[in-house]
Each structure stands twice: as structure tokens, then as C-alpha cells.
């Protein structure tokens, strides 16, 4: 055992002593089953270069997904006016759901192959999907290219960009992860405007070709820096069944399902709520989404920084509570412009912080040895949350509120972060009953 391994072993043993001041309930021994993949030091300048590469990969892969609403509007009003909005929305839905399900397999592949090559392969598939979609003239063709194929390609930079930052930092892990994951929020903001401008100036086919080419070249360019710090322990099974049977993992996954379900509701419903209930313009309503996206970036960065001081799970609990309060105390109780803006500010900040600390919490509780695979499994929660969130909300709005009364839909949205909060509190109790501890 070399000097670094002995030091890690001694630290792990000390950390497992409940009476120790440094004790945290982390499966630290899992790190000892991984081999160091590079001589580059953690927390150094090269590590920040890796973070920049993750930022760009997530900015384009998730940013393009977040901009699908622009295509939805174009398809519905211009290209396929005879098709229902529900059918058209499945192009973007397939894109996101395949990205999440593909995360399970891409996490497994990241344990067996070089993440730099996988990220590059994902860039090629993403670009090919959008360029191929530019030649499609049917919804079915777009569902295969822009939806299915793009989701498969984006799952690689999605998993790599989310799991790699936790390996490269020890002292500022939360801040580094927050910066990397803020790329998705930044991408969602500027890609929406860029896509709108390109469709207006060049038309939808050329907008997709330009977007595909830019995404492919940019993600390819940063792929050489999308490398792991350690080679994780390998498994011959795509799904780590020991993890699936782990009570801690199941509780965290349940919290994630309800948290992600809560994430989508306000972003989908606030624009129409602003028009129908607050009698504002459609552009004012879309600006509310931009406001929430902007605050989510602030939340990702600030919560990432604070998690290094307070503890990622503690902050995830606090942010989930803030999300619940913003919906229960403000949106449920009041139908005013001021409270709607307050909801956008508080909820956007809170939900951005929640997304940031998910991989940091996973590393804290389960160790780094199989973090790509664990993150991939957790993305099942994104899949389930996507199904649990918007469809039931829309059904309540249609069938109970008759498309004008948002009360039932808002109550449903508000209870989702409450359920997530209960699971997070249960996880903390499973780890420790001490209140004043960094975890």
C-alpha cells in the first residue's frame, strides 16, 4: 500500500469513529477500491480546467434540451399546425427521458472505458441527431432524431459532466460541482434566445444544423479534459444490484423522484398561469421562466460554495424546505403579481441548489469508487420525476380546474417538495442523529 493509500486508509478509519470531530457517515472505504488514473493533483489548476470542460459539456447537452420549448412553439404554430400539442411535446419528452434512462448505461460504460472517448462519441451522436433532424419533415422522424438519438448522445456528457467534478476536489468539492452544473442553467438561458433568433433568421432546418455543428465541435474540443481522477471499481452488471438493495440509496432515490417532479411544475405552469390568472402578456410569462433559470444559476453557485462549509445533505434539506415554503406559503395562498415574482425568485434559487448538491451528496454517502454508475442510477429518479410532475399537474388543471383554476395543480406542485423533504430527513436520521454535524 503506497503512502497516499495509507493516508486515505487512516483518514477513513478516523472518520468512521462516531466520537471523532471529523466524523461523517461516508462510505470512505469505497475509495480504496479505485486506482488513481492520473498524476495530476486534486484541487489544482488542471482540476479547474476539467471543471471548465464539464461546464461546456453540460451547457450544450442540457442547454439544447432546455431550449426545446422554442421548437415546440414553431412546430405547433408553423410547421405542424394540424398536430396536437401533446403529440408534438413528446419529441422533447423522449429527448429528456432517453437522456435519463441512457444515464444508467453510460454510467456503466464510464467505469469500463475512457470518459474522454465516451464524451467525444456523445458529441458526434448529438451533432448527427440534430443535423439529421433538420432534414425530417414529419413528427415521427423528429421523434427518432431530435428526440431518441439526441437523448442517447447527450446522456454521455450528461453523466460525465455530473460525476467527474466530485473526483477532482476534496476541499472545494461543492463549489466545483456547482460551477460545473451551472453550465446547464446558463445553457438553458442563452440557447433559448439563440434558437429563437436562428429559426427567425435562417429557418428551422438551418437552426438545427448550426446548433448541431456548434454542439458537436464544442463538446469534441473539451473532451480531452473530460477525464476521471480515479478509475472506479468495475462491475460486470449494468445495474449495481447491491446499491439498489441499499436502504440509504432507495431513500435518496425517493427524495430525488419527488424533488425532480417539483422542479418541472413551476417552469411549465408559470407562463400560462401569468396569462390566465394574472392577466399578463405571454412575453411577461416567459420572462418568469427566464427569471427562474437565472436564479437557479445563482443557487447552483452559492449552494455549491456553502456546501463545503455546512455539508451537502444539510443544504439539500434546507433548499428543499425553501422550495416547499415558496409554493405553500406564497403560490397556494396568493394570486398576485408580487407573490408570483417572489415564487420565481425563491423557487428558482432553491431548485438550482438542489440539483447542484445531488452528486455531492451521493459522493458523501456512497464514496467515489462507483460514482458514475451511482449517478446513472440516480437519473432513474429524473425519469420517474419527469413522469410524476407535469402530466398529473396538467391533468388536474384540465379536469379539475378546467384550464382556468390553478388551485388543484398548485397544491399538487407544493406537496411534491414536502414529500422530498420527508425522505431527506429520513436519510439524515439513517446516517446520524446528531444535529450539529457537517454532512
Q: Given this model, what pLDDT does residue 79 score?
A: 86
Cell of 134: 433538420
d(CA 215, CA 314): 36
Are residues 47 and 193 both part of a single domain? yes
Q: Are residues 121 and 210 in the same domain?
A: yes
How long a stretch of residues is the chain? 439
Q: Examine residue 241 and state whether it is found in any structural domain, yes or no.
A: yes
Q: What is the per-residue pLDDT for 256? A: 92
Our CA dihedral for 288, 292, 294, 298, rounded to 10 degrees, sits at 150
Do the beta carbons of residue 51 and residue 168 sit within 8 Å?
yes
What interhelical angle do 45-66 and 204-222 show, nearest 10? 160
Are 434 and 287 in a shared domain?
Answer: yes
Non-local CB neighbours of 21 within 8 Å, separated by 6+ positions: none
Which position has the grid cell 462491475?
A: 235
Q: What angle do CA 289, 293, 297 make, to 5 degrees?
A: 170
- Same-domain status, 254 and 204: no
Q: Which residues contact 331 (CB under 8 A, 6 or more apart)?
A: 266, 339, 340, 343, 410, 413, 414
- For residues 251 and 135, membership in a common domain is answered with no
Grid coordinates belonging to 64: 439544447
Q: Cell 414529500 appears where?
A: 419
User: What pLDDT does 163 receive?
Assistant: 79
On whether both 220 and 248 belong to a single domain, the answer is no
Q: Which domain holds residue 113?
A: 40-231
pLDDT attached to residue 372: 67
- Beta-bridge partner residues of 231: 35
Give me 249's grid cell.
440509496
Which mean pLDDT values do the consecutive 10-residue runs of the chain (439 residues) have?
42 39 41 57 87 92 79 80 74 82 73 83 94 93 93 88 83 82 81 84 93 94 86 59 83 92 78 82 72 82 80 92 93 89 92 82 76 75 82 82 86 95 95 84
Residues 195 and 240 placed together within one structural domain of the fold: no
Cα(394)–Cα(391) distance, rounded to whole angstroms? 5
* Selection from 131, 180, 121, 183 nearest residue 152 by Cα: 121
pLDDT value at position 81?
A: 83
Same domain assignment for residues 105 and 130 = yes
DSSP labels, 57-108: HHHHHHHHHHTHHHHHHHIIIII-TTS-HHHHHHHHHHHHHHHHHHHHHHHH
- pLDDT for the residue 221: 95
> Do 364 and 424 fall into the same domain?
yes
Amino acid at each position: 500500500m503506497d503512502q497516499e493509500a495509507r493516508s486515505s486508509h487512516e483518514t477513513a478509519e478516523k472518520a468512521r469513529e462516531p466520537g471523532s470531530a471529523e466524523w461523517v457517515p461516508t462510505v470512505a472505504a469505497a475509495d480504496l477500491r479505485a486506482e488513481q488514473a492520473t498524476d495530476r493533483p486534486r484541487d489544482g489548476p488542471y482540476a479547474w480546467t476539467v471543471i471548465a470542460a464539464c461546464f461546456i459539456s453540460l451547457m450544450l447537452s442540457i442547454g439544447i434540451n432546455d431550449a426545446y420549448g422554442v421548437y415546440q412553439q414553431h412546430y405547433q404554430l408553423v410547421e405542424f399546425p394540424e398536430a396536437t400539442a401533446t403529440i408534438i411535446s413528446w419529441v422533447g419528452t423522449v429527448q429528456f427521458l432517453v437522456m435519463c434512462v441512457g444515464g444508467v448505461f453510460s454510467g456503466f460504460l464510464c467505469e469500463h472505458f475512457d470518459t474522454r472517448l465516451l464524451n467525444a462519441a456523445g458529441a458526434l451522436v448529438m451533432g448527427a441527431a440534430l443535423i439529421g433532424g433538420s432534414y425530417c419533415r414529419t413528427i415521427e422522424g423528429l421523434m427518432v432524431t431530435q428526440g431518441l438519438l439526441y437523448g442517447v448522445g447527450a446522456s454521455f456528457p450528461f453523466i460525465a459532466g455530473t460525476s467527474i467534478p466530485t473526483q477532482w476536489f476534496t476541499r472545494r468539492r461543492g463549489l466545483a460541482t456547482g460551477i460545473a452544473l451551472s453550465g446547464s442553467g446558463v445553457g438553458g438561458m442563452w440557447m433559448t434566445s439563440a434558437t429563437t433568433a436562428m429559426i427567425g433568421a435562417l429557418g428551422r432546418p438551418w437552426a438545427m444544423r448550426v446548433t448541431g455543428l456548434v454542439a458537436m465541435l464544442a463538446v469534441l474540443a473539451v473532451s480531452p479534459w473530460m477525464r476521471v481522477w480515479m478509475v472506479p471499481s468495475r462491475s460486470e452488471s449494468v445495474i449495481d444490484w447491491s446499491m439498489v438493495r441499499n436502504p440509504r440509496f432507495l431513500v435518496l432515490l425517493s427524495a430525488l423522484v419527488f424533488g425532480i417532479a417539483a422542479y418541472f411544475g413551476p417552469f411549465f405552469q408559470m407562463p400560462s398561469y401569468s396569462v390566465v390568472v394574472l392577466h399578463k402578456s405571454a412575453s411577461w410569462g416567459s420572462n418568469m421562466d427566464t427569471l427562474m433559470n437565472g436564479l437557479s444559476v445563482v443557487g447552483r453557485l452559492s449552494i455549491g460554495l456553502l456546501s463545503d462549509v455546512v455539508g451537502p445533505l444539510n443544504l439539500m434539506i434546507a433548499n428543499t424546505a425553501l422550495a416547499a415554503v415558496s409554493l405553500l406559503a406564497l403560490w397556494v395562498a396568493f394570486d398576485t403579481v408580487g407573490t408570483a415574482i417572489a415564487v420565481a425568485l425563491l423557487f428558482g434559487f432553491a431548485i438550482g441548489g438542489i440539483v447542484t448538491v445531488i452528486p455531492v451528496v451521493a459522493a458523501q454517502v456512497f464514496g467515489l469508487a462507483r460514482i458514475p454508475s451511482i449517478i446513472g442510477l440516480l437519473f432513474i429518479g429524473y425519469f420517474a420525476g419527469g413522469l410524476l410532475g407535469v402530466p398529473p399537474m396538467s391533468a388536474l388543471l384540465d379536469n379539475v380546474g378546467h384550464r382556468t383554476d390553478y388551485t388543484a395543480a398548485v397544491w399538487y406542485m407544493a406537496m411534491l417538495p414536502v414529500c422530498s423533504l420527508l425522505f431527506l430527513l429520513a436519510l439524515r436520521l439513517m446516517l446520524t442523529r446528531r444535529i450539529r454535524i457537517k454532512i
